[in-house]
Structure 1
Amino acid sequence: MNNNSGIVEALKRYDFTFFGISFAIFLVGVVNLYSATHSSANDYFADLYTVQIGWYVFSTIVGVVVSFIQPKNFFRYAWLFYVLNIILLVLVLFTGHVGMGARRWIVLGPIRLQPSELMKITSILLLARWFTKNDPDQEMGLKQLIVPFILAMVPTLLIVVEPDLGTGLLILLIFFVIAFYRKLKWKSIVILAILGVLSGGMMYKFGLKEYQRKRILTFINPSADAKGSGYNAIQSKIAIGSGRFLGKGFKKSSQASLNYLPENHTDFVFSIFNEEHGFFGSLFLISLYLILFYRFIWLAQSVTKIYDSIVAIGVMSIFFWHTFVNMGMVMGLMPIVGLPLPLMSYGGSSLLTFGICCGIATSISNSRNLF
């Protein structure tokens, strides 16, 4: 009886909301993935939704296991996780699997691991630890940002070299969100904004490859190369516009069935969803993401430990920037950088990342009720 009552009490304390909202988004995503790929003549693409379900189950199991780890252990082993992840990123550059023109994966039998995905999480755990141990109650100037900026830049540079510009910039965006949340002086914010504009110009001139610069030019004027680099952006906007208010209906996307829009199972899943379900369907999906973001912000405000609060905001920023950038790029509001839409786009490594994120958030939430 005591064991049963202990299990019941544990279930009462367990916060199911993060996995619950994520499951709702995934359910929409896997149905959309089936719709986007069902007409493919290639059996590999036609069966992607079943592979996605398998990855989701595995990711959820991993996430649930993570949820039973005490948050103090994330703090304790943050440096270890970070260093091991850096080693994996270095290994990718020398022994990684090449796909779609980039060296991003480590192949372990049937499993392809993308260390840059896990780096988003390990960077958050370490940055939160550093900010917690260094005057957590004081406003920060530029001097206090030097060390955490270096901690963020090391993996960013390793990831950009792969090349994976989108994920590399995402690490920096996560750093800026955490730094801002941690209380930056307004003077520091203004200086960082100016430095960001100047460094962006320098990176465009000297740091980007030709195809990366072409993406930015295509974003400004897609019609300049409508049959080349601007093709995806134009077809994506056609798909979104043709959905109108109510959409064409399930499995009735012409852009998917006629294969006008490449990568409709990864980067451009939101375009297909818009075409089939229209403006109101997109509002429903965006509402699910907003509920998830709100839940992370609520968690950050409800915990008593500054480390847990920073980690919650960092995890929220992973979901937010993925969603914001992906939706922005398929609507032509941002350059195409190849960031997946959380729990909607096909991809095992990204699902694993989001599963672990939900596990970390659930662990932090559960710990509020232990004492």
Structure 2
Amino acid sequence: MDFQNIKELLKRYDFSFFGLSLVIFIFGIINLYSATHTSASFHHANLYKVQLGWYALSLAVGFGISFVQPKNYFRFAWFVYAFNVFLLVLVLFLGHKGMGARRWLLLGPVRIQPSELMKLSVIFVLARWFRKHSPDQEMGIKELIVPFIIAFIPTLLIVLEPDLGTGLLVLLIFFTMAFFRKLKWKSLGILALVGILSGGLMYQFGLKDYQKRRIKTFINPTADAKGSGYNAIQSKIAIGSGKFLGKGLMKSSQASLNYLPENHTDFVFSIFNEEHGFFGSILLIGLYLFLFYRFVWLAVNVSRIFDSIVIIGVMSIFFWHTFINMGMVMGLLPVVGLPLPLMSYGGSSLLTFGICCGIATSISNSRNMF
């Protein structure tokens, strides 16, 4: 490939998804360093270096995927889905146990979390099913039975790990994609009713005691202020103390004094609020909103239905992670342990978001390059 071809290729290449994710990641890596630099643990104090390594890997993988033709997502959807279901079953029997859950498979020194990749597998299979079985007419309950089963199988396996947050996220991805495919309002009402009833049954018979405590803590965190409600209370203290402009970089008392546990994963947004205040938080939220807008714009402007549905599915991963994480640290939702995209520490989730950007870029590029 000569210089002129490379120049033409770069001219047609859509850098917006990787560009926006890079800006958010820069916010995230600075915030991660700020949250952990005073830690007495050598491992915690160097988490930002590990995160940089994971981001480099996720960027490389995502960039490679950006040159994959979207028709391959359609072609291999069922194979990738079946393989990921197999990995989830394997996790239940051979998975590495940590913090009371089996969520990881060990491959030498590397831990992989199949539930992260399952989100993408579900998107490809659902998009393929909606493409072939759901033309332009509105869908009723009957048309949703098969796609619901497709989403429910991995959801059940993930909840059994147990990982309730990721399991519910898979269902939210399904509902978002179904709604995008012209769901009847009557069907939407029935699904809402079923969701409420099944939620009540799950709370009564399916949730473990610690999961029930999270819900009770969400309703009244002060009832156990030194126990299950501690994180929620400290998180709101961090957010409130940031006021309008924040305390400044590396000046978070909640992080430096270690009042807020998991300040590098679940509660990074709390530390960001404390140090950068309302103004900084609005800026960060604006970046996420612009990223969501790019996804929706692309979904509306691609010519192939399958590509459009995939983009909405990928967007829903970013959206629900962001919405749920920010909601839980502000006390608006129960704490479920979902990372904030490109901000929270974590290799598997960072790799997933990098792949998501690669998929979106490949579909955008396909309009001009393939």
TM-score with structure 1 length normalisation?
0.99
Displacement, 1:30? Answer: 0.2
Q: Which residue number in structure 1 is paired with residue 365 of structure 2?
A: 366
Q: Which residue number in structure 2 is paired with residue 273 of structure 1?
A: 272
Contact 2:66 2:358 in 1 (8 A): yes
Q: Which residue number in structure 2 is paired with residue 202 of structure 1?
A: 201
Q: After the TM superposition, which residues 219-238 of structure 1 pair with which residues of structure 2 at under 5 Å, given as runs?
A: 219-238=218-237
Displacement, 1:336? Answer: 0.1
Distance 2:281 2:44 in 1: 24
Q: Which residue number in structure 1 is paired with residue 211 of structure 2?
A: 212
Displacement, 1:234? Answer: 0.2
Give the number of equivalent residue pairs.
370
Task: Give deviations 1:125-147, integer Å, cap 9, x for gaps.
Answer: 11000000013212110000000
Displacement, 1:7? Answer: 1.3
Distance 2:282 2:135 in 1: 38
Distance 2:163 2:23 in 1: 29
Q: Which residue number in structure 1 is paired with residue 326 of structure 2?
A: 327
Displacement, 1:370? Answer: 3.2
Q: After the TM superposition, which residues 1-371 of structure 1 pair with which residues of structure 2 at under 5 Å, given as runs?
A: 3-370=2-369
Contact 1:75 1:125 in 2 (8 A): yes
5-14 or 289-298, which deviates more: 5-14
Displacement, 1:10? Answer: 1.1
Displacement, 1:105? Answer: 0.3
Distance 2:325 2:295 in 1: 20
Q: SS at the partner of 2:2?
A: helix
Structure 2 unmatched ranges of 5 or more: none
Distance 1:236 1:187 in 2: 39
Distance 1:206 1:136 in 2: 38
Regions of 4+ moved over 3 Å: none
Q: SS at the partner of 1:369?
A: coil
Contact 1:136 1:306 in 2 (8 A): no
Distance 1:304 1:355 in 2: 24
Contact 2:9 2:369 in 1 (8 A): no
Report the residue type matching 1:71 in the other structure: P
Distance 1:152 1:338 in 2: 20
Displacement, 1:25? Answer: 0.2
Displacement, 1:3? Answer: 2.2
Report the residue type matching 1:273 in the other structure: F
Q: SS at the partner of 1:259?
A: coil
Displacement, 1:74? Answer: 0.3
Structure 1 unmatched ranges of 5 or more: none
Distance 2:183 2:281 in 1: 35
% identical aligned pairs: 75
Displacement, 1:174? Answer: 0.3
Distance 2:93 2:50 in 1: 29
Task: Give deviations 1:232-276, integer Å, cap 9, x for gaps.
Answer: 000000000000001000000000000000000000000000000
Q: SS at the partner of 2:231?
A: helix
TM-score with structure 2 length normalisation?
0.99
Distance 1:65 1:370 in 2: 15
Q: SS at the partner of 1:50?
A: helix
Contact 1:97 1:104 in 2 (8 A): yes
Contact 2:177 2:309 in 1 (8 A): yes
